[in-house]
Structure 1
Amino acid sequence: MKWYADRPVRLTRQLIADLLAAGWVALWIWVATTVHDWVLRLRAPGDGLVNAGGDIRDVFTNAANKARDVPLVGDDLAGALGNGTKAGETLTSAGHAQIGVVEDSAFWLAAALVVVPVLFLLVTWLPVRLRYALRAGSTARLRDKPDLLALRALTGLSARELARFAGDPAVAWRTGDTEVIDELARRQLAALGVRA
Protein backbone atom coordinates (compact mmCIF):
# COMPACT_ATOMS: atom_id res chain seq x y z
CA MET A 1 0.00 0.00 0.00
CA LYS A 2 1.10 3.51 -0.74
CA TRP A 3 -0.76 6.04 1.43
CA TYR A 4 0.57 9.25 -0.11
CA ALA A 5 1.39 10.42 -3.61
CA ASP A 6 4.90 11.36 -4.67
CA ARG A 7 3.76 14.39 -6.61
CA PRO A 8 3.46 17.58 -4.51
CA VAL A 9 0.02 18.72 -5.70
CA ARG A 10 -1.72 15.43 -4.99
CA LEU A 11 0.29 14.93 -1.80
CA THR A 12 -0.82 18.35 -0.57
CA ARG A 13 -4.47 17.54 -1.30
CA GLN A 14 -4.15 14.22 0.52
CA LEU A 15 -2.49 15.81 3.54
CA ILE A 16 -5.16 18.51 3.70
CA ALA A 17 -7.91 15.88 3.48
CA ASP A 18 -6.27 13.83 6.24
CA LEU A 19 -5.85 16.90 8.44
CA LEU A 20 -9.49 17.82 7.85
CA ALA A 21 -10.51 14.28 8.80
CA ALA A 22 -8.45 14.48 12.00
CA GLY A 23 -9.91 17.93 12.69
CA TRP A 24 -13.43 16.54 12.13
CA VAL A 25 -12.81 13.84 14.75
CA ALA A 26 -11.25 16.34 17.18
CA LEU A 27 -14.17 18.75 16.71
CA TRP A 28 -16.75 16.08 17.55
CA ILE A 29 -14.74 14.89 20.54
CA TRP A 30 -14.69 18.48 21.81
CA VAL A 31 -18.44 18.86 21.16
CA ALA A 32 -19.12 15.56 22.94
CA THR A 33 -17.08 16.48 26.02
CA THR A 34 -18.70 19.91 26.16
CA VAL A 35 -22.20 18.44 25.93
CA HIS A 36 -21.24 15.79 28.49
CA ASP A 37 -20.21 18.52 30.93
CA TRP A 38 -23.38 20.51 30.28
CA VAL A 39 -25.60 17.49 30.87
CA LEU A 40 -23.73 16.65 34.08
CA ARG A 41 -24.79 20.05 35.42
CA LEU A 42 -28.31 18.60 35.49
CA ARG A 43 -27.25 16.36 38.35
CA ALA A 44 -27.35 19.34 40.76
CA PRO A 45 -30.94 18.61 41.88
CA GLY A 46 -29.95 14.99 42.53
CA ASP A 47 -26.96 16.15 44.57
CA GLY A 48 -29.32 18.43 46.49
CA LEU A 49 -31.64 15.49 47.22
CA VAL A 50 -28.71 13.37 48.41
CA ASN A 51 -27.48 16.15 50.69
CA ALA A 52 -30.96 16.99 52.02
CA GLY A 53 -31.77 13.31 52.54
CA GLY A 54 -28.49 12.79 54.37
CA ASP A 55 -29.11 15.80 56.58
CA ILE A 56 -32.68 14.67 57.39
CA ARG A 57 -31.49 11.12 58.08
CA ASP A 58 -28.72 12.37 60.41
CA VAL A 59 -31.06 14.74 62.29
CA PHE A 60 -33.70 12.08 62.84
CA THR A 61 -31.10 9.43 63.73
CA ASN A 62 -29.58 11.72 66.38
CA ALA A 63 -33.02 12.65 67.68
CA ALA A 64 -34.02 8.98 67.88
CA ASN A 65 -30.82 8.13 69.77
CA LYS A 66 -31.48 10.91 72.29
CA ALA A 67 -35.16 10.00 72.55
CA ARG A 68 -34.23 6.50 73.76
CA ASP A 69 -33.02 8.14 76.97
CA VAL A 70 -36.47 9.57 77.77
CA PRO A 71 -38.07 7.49 80.53
CA LEU A 72 -41.19 5.43 79.73
CA VAL A 73 -41.80 6.67 76.15
CA GLY A 74 -38.20 6.68 74.88
CA ASP A 75 -38.44 3.56 72.76
CA ASP A 76 -41.77 4.56 71.22
CA LEU A 77 -40.52 8.08 70.54
CA ALA A 78 -37.28 6.69 69.04
CA GLY A 79 -39.36 4.40 66.80
CA ALA A 80 -41.47 7.32 65.59
CA LEU A 81 -38.36 9.38 64.87
CA GLY A 82 -36.94 6.37 63.00
CA ASN A 83 -39.58 6.98 60.31
CA GLY A 84 -37.92 10.36 59.68
CA THR A 85 -34.63 8.50 59.22
CA LYS A 86 -36.31 6.30 56.59
CA ALA A 87 -37.67 9.39 54.84
CA GLY A 88 -34.14 10.81 54.66
CA GLU A 89 -32.86 7.55 53.22
CA THR A 90 -35.67 7.61 50.64
CA LEU A 91 -34.65 11.12 49.57
CA THR A 92 -31.00 10.03 49.34
CA SER A 93 -31.95 7.02 47.19
CA ALA A 94 -34.05 9.23 44.90
CA GLY A 95 -31.12 11.62 44.55
CA HIS A 96 -28.73 8.79 43.68
CA ALA A 97 -31.20 7.46 41.11
CA GLN A 98 -31.51 10.89 39.49
CA ILE A 99 -27.72 11.30 39.45
CA GLY A 100 -27.37 7.87 37.82
CA VAL A 101 -29.87 8.76 35.08
CA VAL A 102 -28.12 12.07 34.37
CA GLU A 103 -24.66 10.45 34.28
CA ASP A 104 -25.88 7.66 31.97
CA SER A 105 -27.58 10.20 29.69
CA ALA A 106 -24.43 12.33 29.58
CA PHE A 107 -22.28 9.32 28.69
CA TRP A 108 -24.56 7.95 25.95
CA LEU A 109 -25.19 11.38 24.43
CA ALA A 110 -21.44 12.07 24.32
CA ALA A 111 -20.80 8.63 22.85
CA ALA A 112 -23.40 9.20 20.13
CA LEU A 113 -21.92 12.62 19.36
CA VAL A 114 -18.55 10.98 18.70
CA VAL A 115 -19.62 7.69 17.12
CA VAL A 116 -22.05 9.03 14.50
CA PRO A 117 -19.68 11.61 12.92
CA VAL A 118 -16.72 9.21 13.08
CA LEU A 119 -18.79 6.49 11.39
CA PHE A 120 -19.78 9.03 8.72
CA LEU A 121 -16.09 9.80 8.23
CA LEU A 122 -15.17 6.13 8.06
CA VAL A 123 -17.88 5.50 5.46
CA THR A 124 -16.95 8.47 3.26
CA TRP A 125 -13.26 9.33 3.67
CA LEU A 126 -11.65 6.01 4.60
CA PRO A 127 -12.77 4.01 1.53
CA VAL A 128 -11.38 6.72 -0.76
CA ARG A 129 -8.04 6.68 1.06
CA LEU A 130 -7.88 2.87 1.09
CA ARG A 131 -8.77 2.66 -2.60
CA TYR A 132 -6.01 5.14 -3.43
CA ALA A 133 -3.46 3.34 -1.22
CA LEU A 134 -4.19 -0.01 -2.84
CA ARG A 135 -4.20 1.33 -6.42
CA ALA A 136 -1.10 3.47 -5.95
CA GLY A 137 0.76 0.65 -4.22
CA SER A 138 0.00 -1.87 -6.93
CA THR A 139 0.78 0.67 -9.67
CA ALA A 140 4.08 1.62 -8.03
CA ARG A 141 5.12 -2.05 -8.05
CA LEU A 142 4.66 -2.02 -11.85
CA ARG A 143 7.19 0.80 -12.43
CA ASP A 144 9.61 -1.57 -14.09
CA LYS A 145 6.88 -3.08 -16.31
CA PRO A 146 6.00 -0.28 -18.74
CA ASP A 147 3.98 -2.59 -21.03
CA LEU A 148 1.56 -3.42 -18.20
CA LEU A 149 1.36 0.21 -17.14
CA ALA A 150 0.67 1.22 -20.73
CA LEU A 151 -2.10 -1.37 -21.01
CA ARG A 152 -3.55 -0.10 -17.75
CA ALA A 153 -3.39 3.45 -19.12
CA LEU A 154 -5.20 2.39 -22.27
CA THR A 155 -8.07 1.04 -20.19
CA GLY A 156 -8.01 3.61 -17.41
CA LEU A 157 -7.20 7.01 -18.90
CA SER A 158 -10.01 9.22 -20.13
CA ALA A 159 -10.81 9.49 -23.82
CA ARG A 160 -9.57 13.09 -23.74
CA GLU A 161 -6.16 11.96 -22.42
CA LEU A 162 -5.89 9.24 -25.07
CA ALA A 163 -6.91 11.65 -27.85
CA ARG A 164 -3.86 13.81 -27.07
CA PHE A 165 -1.58 11.22 -28.61
CA ALA A 166 -0.50 11.89 -32.19
CA GLY A 167 -1.61 8.49 -33.43
CA ASP A 168 -3.64 5.63 -32.03
CA PRO A 169 -1.97 4.67 -28.73
CA ALA A 170 -3.55 1.21 -28.78
CA VAL A 171 -1.97 0.42 -32.16
CA ALA A 172 1.35 1.82 -30.92
CA TRP A 173 1.12 -0.41 -27.82
CA ARG A 174 0.31 -3.50 -29.92
CA THR A 175 3.22 -2.83 -32.28
CA GLY A 176 5.64 -2.25 -29.37
CA ASP A 177 6.34 1.46 -29.94
CA THR A 178 8.52 2.08 -26.87
CA GLU A 179 8.09 5.86 -27.01
CA VAL A 180 4.28 5.61 -26.80
CA ILE A 181 4.47 2.76 -24.26
CA ASP A 182 6.77 4.82 -22.04
CA GLU A 183 4.47 7.86 -22.35
CA LEU A 184 1.39 5.77 -21.51
CA ALA A 185 3.22 4.27 -18.51
CA ARG A 186 4.29 7.74 -17.35
CA ARG A 187 0.72 9.03 -17.62
CA GLN A 188 -0.64 6.05 -15.70
CA LEU A 189 1.84 6.69 -12.90
CA ALA A 190 1.11 10.43 -13.01
CA ALA A 191 -2.64 9.78 -12.78
CA LEU A 192 -2.04 8.32 -9.31
CA GLY A 193 0.64 10.82 -8.34
CA VAL A 194 3.39 8.17 -8.43
CA ARG A 195 6.81 9.10 -9.75
CA ALA A 196 8.20 7.13 -12.66
Structure 2
Amino acid sequence: MKWYADRPVRLTRQLIADLLAVGWVALWIWVATTAHGWVLELRAPGDGLVNAGGDIRDVFTNAAGKARGVPFVGDELSGALGNGSKAGETLIGVGNTQIGVVEDTAFWLATALVVIPVLFLLITWLPVRLRYAFRAAHAVKLRDMPDLLALRALTSLKSKELARFPHDPAAKWRTGDTDTIEELARRQLAALGVRA
Protein backbone atom coordinates (compact mmCIF):
# COMPACT_ATOMS: atom_id res chain seq x y z
CA MET A 1 0.00 0.00 0.00
CA LYS A 2 1.06 3.54 -0.64
CA TRP A 3 -0.03 5.74 2.27
CA TYR A 4 1.22 9.11 1.06
CA ALA A 5 1.29 10.96 -2.23
CA ASP A 6 4.51 11.95 -3.96
CA ARG A 7 3.25 15.40 -4.90
CA PRO A 8 3.79 18.06 -2.21
CA VAL A 9 0.30 19.59 -2.18
CA ARG A 10 -1.53 16.30 -1.72
CA LEU A 11 1.16 15.02 0.66
CA THR A 12 0.74 18.14 2.81
CA ARG A 13 -3.05 17.70 2.93
CA GLN A 14 -2.64 14.03 3.89
CA LEU A 15 -0.11 14.84 6.62
CA ILE A 16 -2.36 17.58 8.01
CA ALA A 17 -5.35 15.21 8.00
CA ASP A 18 -3.34 12.51 9.74
CA LEU A 19 -2.02 14.96 12.34
CA LEU A 20 -5.56 16.19 12.95
CA ALA A 21 -6.67 12.59 13.42
CA VAL A 22 -3.91 11.98 15.96
CA GLY A 23 -4.78 15.28 17.66
CA TRP A 24 -8.46 14.26 17.76
CA VAL A 25 -7.58 11.00 19.52
CA ALA A 26 -5.19 12.77 21.92
CA LEU A 27 -7.84 15.39 22.73
CA TRP A 28 -10.45 12.79 23.63
CA ILE A 29 -7.94 10.80 25.70
CA TRP A 30 -7.18 14.00 27.62
CA VAL A 31 -10.92 14.75 28.04
CA ALA A 32 -11.52 11.18 29.23
CA THR A 33 -8.69 11.21 31.77
CA THR A 34 -9.79 14.62 33.05
CA ALA A 35 -13.41 13.47 33.40
CA HIS A 36 -12.21 10.25 35.06
CA GLY A 37 -10.33 12.29 37.65
CA TRP A 38 -13.31 14.57 38.29
CA VAL A 39 -15.66 11.65 38.78
CA LEU A 40 -13.19 9.93 41.11
CA GLU A 41 -13.34 13.00 43.35
CA LEU A 42 -16.94 11.96 44.08
CA ARG A 43 -15.63 8.96 45.99
CA ALA A 44 -14.68 11.23 48.94
CA PRO A 45 -17.96 10.59 50.83
CA GLY A 46 -17.43 6.84 50.38
CA ASP A 47 -13.88 7.14 51.72
CA GLY A 48 -15.28 9.11 54.66
CA LEU A 49 -17.81 6.35 55.39
CA VAL A 50 -15.10 3.69 55.24
CA ASN A 51 -12.85 5.68 57.58
CA ALA A 52 -15.69 6.49 59.99
CA GLY A 53 -16.90 2.89 59.93
CA GLY A 54 -13.37 1.66 60.64
CA ASP A 55 -13.00 4.09 63.54
CA ILE A 56 -16.38 3.07 65.00
CA ARG A 57 -15.58 -0.62 64.62
CA ASP A 58 -12.18 -0.19 66.28
CA VAL A 59 -13.60 1.84 69.19
CA PHE A 60 -16.40 -0.64 69.87
CA THR A 61 -14.11 -3.65 69.44
CA ASN A 62 -11.63 -2.21 71.97
CA ALA A 63 -14.47 -1.28 74.34
CA ALA A 64 -15.96 -4.78 74.06
CA GLY A 65 -12.57 -6.30 74.82
CA LYS A 66 -12.18 -4.17 77.94
CA ALA A 67 -15.79 -4.76 79.00
CA ARG A 68 -15.17 -8.51 79.27
CA GLY A 69 -13.12 -7.77 82.34
CA VAL A 70 -16.04 -6.16 84.24
CA PRO A 71 -17.30 -8.56 86.93
CA PHE A 72 -20.81 -10.04 86.64
CA VAL A 73 -21.94 -8.09 83.51
CA GLY A 74 -18.76 -8.23 81.41
CA ASP A 75 -19.99 -10.78 78.88
CA GLU A 76 -23.34 -9.07 78.37
CA LEU A 77 -21.72 -5.63 78.13
CA SER A 78 -19.14 -7.00 75.71
CA GLY A 79 -21.91 -8.47 73.53
CA ALA A 80 -23.80 -5.17 73.50
CA LEU A 81 -20.66 -3.28 72.50
CA GLY A 82 -20.04 -5.91 69.81
CA ASN A 83 -23.19 -4.71 68.06
CA GLY A 84 -21.48 -1.32 67.70
CA SER A 85 -18.65 -3.10 65.88
CA LYS A 86 -21.24 -4.52 63.46
CA ALA A 87 -22.53 -1.00 62.82
CA GLY A 88 -18.99 0.07 61.90
CA GLU A 89 -18.73 -2.89 59.51
CA THR A 90 -22.02 -1.84 57.92
CA LEU A 91 -20.70 1.69 57.37
CA ILE A 92 -17.54 0.25 55.80
CA GLY A 93 -19.65 -1.89 53.47
CA VAL A 94 -21.82 1.07 52.43
CA GLY A 95 -18.72 3.21 51.84
CA ASN A 96 -17.06 0.49 49.73
CA THR A 97 -20.24 0.11 47.69
CA GLN A 98 -20.33 3.85 47.00
CA ILE A 99 -16.63 3.84 46.09
CA GLY A 100 -17.23 0.91 43.71
CA VAL A 101 -20.11 2.72 41.98
CA VAL A 102 -18.05 5.88 41.58
CA GLU A 103 -15.03 3.98 40.22
CA ASP A 104 -17.19 2.01 37.78
CA THR A 105 -18.90 5.20 36.60
CA ALA A 106 -15.52 6.92 36.14
CA PHE A 107 -14.17 3.97 34.16
CA TRP A 108 -17.16 3.61 31.83
CA LEU A 109 -17.48 7.34 31.29
CA ALA A 110 -13.79 7.60 30.36
CA THR A 111 -14.12 4.57 28.09
CA ALA A 112 -17.14 6.07 26.31
CA LEU A 113 -15.38 9.42 25.95
CA VAL A 114 -12.53 7.71 24.11
CA VAL A 115 -14.32 4.95 22.20
CA ILE A 116 -17.16 6.98 20.65
CA PRO A 117 -14.98 9.76 19.12
CA VAL A 118 -12.33 7.26 18.00
CA LEU A 119 -15.02 5.11 16.33
CA PHE A 120 -16.35 8.24 14.62
CA LEU A 121 -12.84 8.96 13.38
CA LEU A 122 -12.33 5.40 12.19
CA ILE A 123 -15.64 5.46 10.34
CA THR A 124 -14.95 8.78 8.61
CA TRP A 125 -11.18 9.18 8.21
CA LEU A 126 -9.84 5.63 7.94
CA PRO A 127 -11.89 4.54 4.88
CA VAL A 128 -10.70 7.62 2.98
CA ARG A 129 -7.07 6.88 3.84
CA LEU A 130 -7.40 3.18 3.01
CA ARG A 131 -9.14 3.93 -0.29
CA TYR A 132 -6.31 6.27 -1.24
CA ALA A 133 -3.63 3.77 -0.18
CA PHE A 134 -5.14 1.00 -2.29
CA ARG A 135 -5.79 3.20 -5.32
CA ALA A 136 -2.32 4.73 -5.22
CA ALA A 137 -0.67 1.32 -4.78
CA HIS A 138 -2.56 -0.04 -7.78
CA ALA A 139 -1.63 3.02 -9.83
CA VAL A 140 2.05 2.55 -8.95
CA LYS A 141 1.84 -1.09 -10.09
CA LEU A 142 0.25 0.08 -13.35
CA ARG A 143 2.86 2.80 -13.93
CA ASP A 144 4.55 0.67 -16.60
CA MET A 145 1.20 -0.12 -18.25
CA PRO A 146 0.02 3.21 -19.63
CA ASP A 147 -2.87 1.60 -21.53
CA LEU A 148 -4.48 0.39 -18.31
CA LEU A 149 -3.79 3.67 -16.55
CA ALA A 150 -5.39 5.51 -19.46
CA LEU A 151 -8.44 3.27 -19.24
CA ARG A 152 -8.64 3.92 -15.52
CA ALA A 153 -8.36 7.65 -16.19
CA LEU A 154 -11.26 7.45 -18.64
CA THR A 155 -13.43 5.84 -15.99
CA SER A 156 -12.32 7.74 -12.89
CA LEU A 157 -11.32 11.27 -13.90
CA LYS A 158 -13.97 13.94 -13.63
CA SER A 159 -15.71 14.88 -16.85
CA LYS A 160 -14.38 18.42 -16.41
CA GLU A 161 -10.84 17.04 -16.53
CA LEU A 162 -11.60 14.91 -19.60
CA ALA A 163 -13.23 17.88 -21.36
CA ARG A 164 -9.86 19.71 -21.30
CA PHE A 165 -8.57 17.41 -24.03
CA PRO A 166 -8.70 19.03 -27.48
CA HIS A 167 -10.28 15.84 -28.85
CA ASP A 168 -12.29 12.86 -27.63
CA PRO A 169 -9.83 11.01 -25.37
CA ALA A 170 -11.87 7.79 -25.42
CA ALA A 171 -11.82 7.64 -29.22
CA LYS A 172 -8.09 8.35 -29.29
CA TRP A 173 -7.51 5.67 -26.62
CA ARG A 174 -9.47 3.12 -28.69
CA THR A 175 -7.35 3.87 -31.74
CA GLY A 176 -4.16 3.50 -29.69
CA ASP A 177 -2.96 7.10 -29.94
CA THR A 178 0.18 6.99 -27.77
CA ASP A 179 0.21 10.71 -26.96
CA THR A 180 -3.36 10.57 -25.63
CA ILE A 181 -2.70 7.32 -23.75
CA GLU A 182 0.39 8.78 -22.10
CA GLU A 183 -1.44 12.00 -21.22
CA LEU A 184 -4.37 10.06 -19.72
CA ALA A 185 -1.94 7.88 -17.73
CA ARG A 186 -0.07 10.98 -16.51
CA ARG A 187 -3.30 12.67 -15.45
CA GLN A 188 -4.45 9.53 -13.63
CA LEU A 189 -1.20 9.38 -11.67
CA ALA A 190 -1.36 13.13 -11.04
CA ALA A 191 -4.93 12.82 -9.73
CA LEU A 192 -3.63 10.38 -7.14
CA GLY A 193 -0.58 12.51 -6.37
CA VAL A 194 1.79 9.83 -7.69
CA ARG A 195 4.81 10.71 -9.82
CA ALA A 196 4.72 9.49 -13.41
Pair in the same fold by TM > 0.5: yes
Is the partner of 1:144 in helix, strand or coil? coil
Is the partner of 2:105 in helix, strand or coil? helix
The alignment status of 1:147 with 2:139, answered yes or no, reads: no
The corresponding residue for 2:195 is 195
The corresponding residue for 1:18 is 18
**Superposition TM-score, scaled by structure 1 size:** 0.99
The one-letter amino acid paired with 1:89 is: E
The alignment covers a number of residue pairs equal to: 196
**Superposition TM-score, scaled by structure 2 size:** 0.99
The one-letter amino acid paired with 1:84 is: G
Question: After superposition, what is the alpha-carbon deviation per residue over 1:98-156, rounded to whole angstroms, capped at 9, x for unaligned?
Answer: 00000000000000000000000010000111111111111110000001111111111
For the residues of structure 1 that align with 2:143 and 2:6, how far apart are their CA atoms? 13
For the residues of structure 2 that align with 1:178 and 1:164, how far apart are their CA atoms? 17
The corresponding residue for 1:160 is 160
The alignment status of 1:137 with 2:119, answered yes or no, reads: no
Single out whichever of 155-164 and 140-149 deviates more from structure 2: 155-164
Alignment of 1:88-107 (within 5 A): 88-107=88-107
The one-letter amino acid paired with 2:122 is: L
Shift of 1:170: 1.2
For the residues of structure 2 that align with 1:96 and 1:19, how far apart are their CA atoms? 43
Is the partner of 1:69 in helix, strand or coil? coil
List structure 1 segments (4+ residues) > 2 angstroms apart after TM superposition.
none
Q: Which runs of 5+ in 2 are unaligned?
A: none
The corresponding residue for 1:117 is 117
The one-letter amino acid paired with 2:166 is: A
The one-letter amino acid paired with 2:113 is: L
Question: After superposition, what is the alpha-carbon deviation per residue over 1:77-118, rounded to whole angstroms, capped at 9, x for unaligned?
Answer: 000000000000000110001000000000000000000000
Q: Which runs of 5+ in 1 are unaligned?
A: none
For the residues of structure 2 that align with 1:14 and 1:177, how far apart are their CA atoms? 35
Shift of 1:30: 0.2
Give the percent of matched residue pairs that are identical in Structure 1 and Structure 2: 81
Is the partner of 1:70 in helix, strand or coil? coil
For the residues of structure 1 that align with 2:125 and 2:76, how far apart are their CA atoms? 73
The one-letter amino acid paired with 1:141 is: K
